[in-house]
């Protein structure tokens, strides 16, 4: 009996070792997928009429100043097939054929719901560097992004044109996916609104989607001047540059999509108080789209809340993902005694907050 118990204990320990190695090399998944996105492999297969392609066929379509290294490509594709990013089958002639899966279809660049831009943003070396400072933040406090780069993420975007473009493209791709879920699930939420200001609205993608679905709304896209300066024109959308910590343009309602988790409680209260000043006391509301942390949550996107919470340590100045109790406390402190949470098929939820 002791020998059996010893064997089980040994098996458990070996399993633990295997798990440690899996987490140790978890970054390999990210880097291999990033490689495929940068080489536009999903796009190459997709443009082949959805038909499967051989490695040599894929290689000839890769944009390169010289002949692609097919040995490297084959090894990377073999790994990505194992991860179910692509499929593989054997042709009658014995060659391996590669095809798309439901995962790689999200990595297409030129589709409306592509996540390729946000994948490239999250794997950008600028955003990867702060993760190496977690232990330093635990020991000494401070902000991981500043430890890595000497400035915060918004300062970086304002002075680095390429990163700003990468950042805006990534945010826009995320916005399109979330907005699809919002428009579908929040059908009656915009009906009674005559004017809406999107605070921290980036380049205006979210507001353009709202106005397209609800053309009676006068839409204002509000963000920092260097952000709105790169925004394209959308029918029914007015771009306004400014600082949400100072004042917010008046409107019937305020829209805050994925903004609040970037800031600490004190800053969030400031933002929400400015939102309260911007809307009518009796009929106004604030529509917050953000994650709600559920400690025991096991639904499709609940794990993203915990991942995003750590991302806030990496990127933000004190931001975090909040539980419902934390949201309740925050809203009351800012003058919103009443709120309503609405589920949508995305990693975020809708929180309607009312001043009365």
Print burial letters for 300-322: b (CB count within 10 Å at least 16), e (below 16).
Answer: ebbeebeebbebbbbbbbebbbb
Tokens standing for residue 17:
């070792």
Q: Are 170 and 153 in contact (CB under 8 A)?
A: no
> Taking the alpha carbons of 111, 114, 120, 121 in that order, is the dihedral positive or negative?
positive
Is residue 80 left, alpha or beta, with left meaning phi > 0 and alpha meaning psi from -120 to 50? alpha
What is the SS3 assignment for 6? Answer: helix
Residues assigned a catalytic role: 261
Backbone φ and ψ of 137, nearest 5°:
-65, -40
Within a 10 A sphere around the Cβ of 96, how many other Cβ atoms? 16
Q: Are 257 and 200 in contact (CB under 8 A)?
A: yes
Q: Do the strands 349-354 and 285-290 form a parallel or antiparallel pair, or are they unpaired? A: antiparallel
Say which DSSP state 347 is in. Answer: S
DSSP class per residue in 231-295: PPP-TTEEEEE--TTT-----SEEEEES-GGGB-HHHHHHHHHHHHHHS-TTT-EEEEEE-B--T
Q: In what order do the strands lie in the sheet with 96-100?
A: 53-54, 96-100, 86-90
Write the CB contacts of 239 (distance below 8 Å, at least 6 apart in sequence). 204, 220, 221, 228, 231
What is the SS3 assignment for 48? Answer: coil
Beta bridge partners of 317: 263
Tokens standing for residue 164:
């700003």
């Amino acid at each position: 009996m002791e020998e059996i118990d010893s064997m089980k204990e040994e098996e458990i320990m070996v399993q633990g070792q295997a798990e440690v190695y899996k987490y140790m090399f978890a970054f390999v998944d990210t880097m291999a997928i990033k490689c495929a996105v940068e080489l536009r492999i999903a796009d190459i297969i997709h443009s082949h009429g959805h038909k499967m392609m051989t490695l040599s066929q894929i290689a000839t379509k890769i944009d390169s100043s010289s002949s692609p290294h097919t040995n490297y490509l084959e090894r990377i594709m073999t790994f990505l097939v194992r991860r179910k990013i692509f499929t593989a089958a054997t042709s009658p002639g014995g060659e391996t054929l590669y095809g798309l899966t439901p995962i790689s279809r999200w990595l297409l660049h030129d589709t409306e719901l592509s996540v390729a831009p946000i994948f490239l943003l999250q794997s950008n070396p600028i955003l990867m560097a702060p993760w190496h400072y977690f232990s330093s933040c635990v020991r000494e406090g401070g902000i991981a992004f500043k430890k890595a780069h000497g400035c915060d993420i918004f300062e970086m975007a304002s002075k680095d044109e390429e990163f700003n473009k990468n950042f805006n493209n990534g945010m826009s791709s995320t916005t399109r996916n979330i907005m699809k879920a919002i428009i579908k699930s929040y059908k009656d939420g915009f009906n009674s609104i005559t004017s809406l200001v999107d605070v921290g609205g980036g380049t205006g993608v979210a507001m353009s989607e709202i106005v397209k679905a609800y053309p009676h709304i006068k839409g204002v896209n509000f963000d920092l001047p260097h952000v709105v300066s790169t925004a394209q024109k959308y029918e029914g959308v007015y771009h306004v540059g400014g600082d949400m910590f100072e004042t917010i343009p008046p409107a019937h309602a305020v829209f805050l999509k994925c903004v609040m988790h970037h800031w600490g409680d004190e800053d969030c209260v400031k933002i929400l108080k400015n939102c309260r000043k911007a809307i009518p006391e009796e009929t106004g509301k604030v529509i917050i789209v953000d994650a709600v942390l559920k400690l025991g949550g096991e639904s499709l996107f609940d794990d993203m809340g915990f991942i995003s919470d750590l991302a806030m340590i990496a990127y933000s100045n004190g931001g975090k993902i909040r539980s419902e109790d934390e949201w309740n406390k925050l809203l009351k402190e800012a003058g919103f005694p009443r709120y309503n949470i609405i589920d949508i098929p995305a990693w975020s939820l809708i929180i309607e907050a009312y001043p009365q």
